[in-house]
Amino acid sequence: MNTNTATVVLVHGAWAGETAWNKVTSILRIDGIKAVTVRLPLSSLADDTAALDEALEQIEGPVVLVGHAYAGAVIGSAQSSKVQALVYVAGLAPDRGETVAEVFNRFEHDALTPPLAPDSEGWIRLPADAFATAFAQHATPEEQQALAATQPPIAPAAITVPAGAPLWKRVPSWYLLAEQDHMIPAQTQRFVATRMQAHIASYPVDHVPSVTAPALVANLIVDAVKHSGH
């Protein structure tokens, strides 16, 4: 494939960790694109941004950053000058002064969205049954069980602190809009994607198309790699 030399860096959000990118990274590597994942602590937006920036320091050359859901806020907070494009997968993209929670709750959720609150340890976990009903309803039962068993919880500090000036105001962005998402309403996704002036690809997919429709995710990333950085 005739692409530039950008490395694709995939960043997970809450409740679906690095392994949720496995199918996408396999497709990208077959296409000759270098792809790596980053693990976030999900302890605060500042901690997560620092973890991403540290990972980017280890990469030579330009980068295309991909963020799922909450990680949209993290890739938008990145400080590295290596980033030449942002790709959001059902992502949240707060503007300066907005919190992730404010964007998440901008429009009304449907009846399938599970209640979310910190547990006794101070972490927000997704109820196990929500993976089949709201989070990954298009996945196989085995995939749903694996997601539930390996979910990385998120701390309130990640979603309640205002974001700084977002990177999407300075670099081009692409957005995969998940029309059948029961976690982040499609209306919310379209709002943030339009505000960013992103290249929007809208599909009838669930909240984790990296697992349930990986080719669609990979195709959008390839488009970003091809058409950014020129």
Separation between Cα atoms, residue 40 and residue 79, nearest integer Å: 16
Structural domains of the chain in order of their starting residue, each with its CATH number: 7-227 (3.40.50.1820)
Token pair recorded at residue 191: 């709002």
Place of tokens 């029309």: 179
pLDDT > 60? residue 107: yes
What is the layout of strands, in order, in the sheet containing 83-89? Answer: 35-38, 7-11, 63-68, 83-89, 173-178, 199-203
Whole-number pLDDT of residue 87: 98
Average pLDDT over residues 112-126: 93
CA distance 202 to 144: 23
Question: Model confidence at 2, in pLDDT bands (50, 70, 90)?
Answer: very low
Amino acid in position 1: M
Does residue 1 have a pLDDT over 50? Answer: no
pLDDT of residue 228: 84
The confidence band for 53, taking pLDDT boundaries of 50, 70 and 90, is: very high
* SS3 sequence of the chain: CCCCCCEEEEECCCCCCHHHHHHHHHHHHHCCCCEEEECCCCCCHHHHHHHHHHHHHCCCCCEEEEEECCHHHHHHHCCCCCEEEEEEECCCCCCCCCCHHHHHCCCCCCCCCCCCCECCCCCECCCCCHHHHHHCCCCCHHHHHHHHHHCCCECHHHCCCCCCCCHHHCCCEEEEEECCCCCCCHHHHHHHHHHCCCEEEEECCCCCHHHHCHHHHHHHHHHHHHHCCC
pLDDT band of 210, cuts 50, 70, 90: very high
pLDDT greater than 50 at residue 106: yes
The residue-averaged pLDDT of 9-33 equals: 97
**In the predicted model, is pLDDT for residue 4 greater than 70?**
no
Decide if pLDDT at 122 tops 80.
Answer: yes
Q: What is the mean pLDDT of the chain?
A: 95
Q: Give the residue-averaged pLDDT of 181-207.
A: 98
The per-residue pLDDT for 230 is 52
- Please give the structure tokens belonging to residue 16: 């679906």
| Partners of 7 in the β-ladder | 63
